Homo-oligomer: A and B are copies of this chain.
Amino acid sequence: MPMTPLQKKLEVTCHNCGFSTVCFPRGLTQQEIRQLENVVQRRKVLHKGEYLFRSGDPFHGLIAIKSGMAKLIYHDDQGEEHVLQVLLPGELVGFDALSEEKYRCSAQALDTLSYCELPATQISRICFRIPTLLNEMLKHASEAIGTQRDQTISIKKPAEQRLAAFLLDLSRRYAFRGFCGDDFNIGLTREELGNHLDLALATVSRTLKQFEKRGWLEVHGRRIRILDREALERLLQD
């Protein structure tokens, strides 16, 4: 379907995208962003339950979420599912696939979702043309190590701290990307959240209820409103 000039003008590309300071174009000059957006494939749309990629698929590119949420799932040798991460708009995923040139995890849409993709075939080429991008790629990969490390650390703490840390982290990430950091959607069911934090579904439910009783949160299903952020932060100190 050919586009009219008007449609073309309204199309969101990297240089006019709200996430240009956190997504692939991070750290690049306007001119470099123009180069980048020639190779980034834009705005594919998925529906709830559909996959951005599946574990074992040949690596086809790095993904940037544009809208909606996704979860990153790892299937271990025993076939158990592990929810590794929740992905918010503006966040990148797929760096762990570079080592074997196939995806090691599955990424599944938690609701209607749109995303961009930096194709695998273009990564070396574009990094070579934009040295700043090479550094940013390494930094993004480096951040992914840190994200995974933080999950490891978090799981070593008591249930209340695990949950508080999860909520505060999600809140921070929402706020950092221009969304409300005090009233947001956790995306995951209690079961998925329990899986992510290595807690039983029942423990997640009980602990959230505790926080609510103490007046720290307001919980409506998967929607969380943070009422007393300091109390949650204090919990992490002990």
Contact = CB atoms under 8 A, between A and B. Distances in A.
Interface of A: 74, 76-78, 82, 84, 95-99, 104, 123-124, 127-128, 131, 134-135, 137-146, 148-149, 151-153, 155-156, 198, 236-238
Nearest to A59: B142
22 contacts: A76-B153, A77-B237, A78-B236, A82-B156, A95-B138, A96-B149, A98-B138, A98-B142, A99-B139, A99-B140, A99-B146, A124-B135, A128-B128, A128-B131, A138-B138, A138-B141, A141-B141, A141-B145, A144-B145, A145-B145, A148-B148, A155-B155
A134 B141 CA distance: 13
A95 B141 contact: yes
A169 to B, nearest CB: 12
Contacts of A238: 78
Does more than half of chain A's interface fall in helix, strand or loop, or is it mixed?
helix
Contact of A95 (B96, B131, B142): B142
Nearest to A99: B142
Given A78-B237, A152-B84, A98 B134 contact: no
Contacts of A96: 142, 145-146, 149
A134 to B, nearest CB: 6
Greatest chain B CB density within 10 A among A98, A104, A149 is at A149
Contacts of A98: 138-139, 141-142
Contact of A97 (B99, B142, B152): B142
Greatest chain B CB density within 10 A among A148, A155, A156 is at A148
Contacts of A124: 131, 134-135
A134 B128 contact: yes
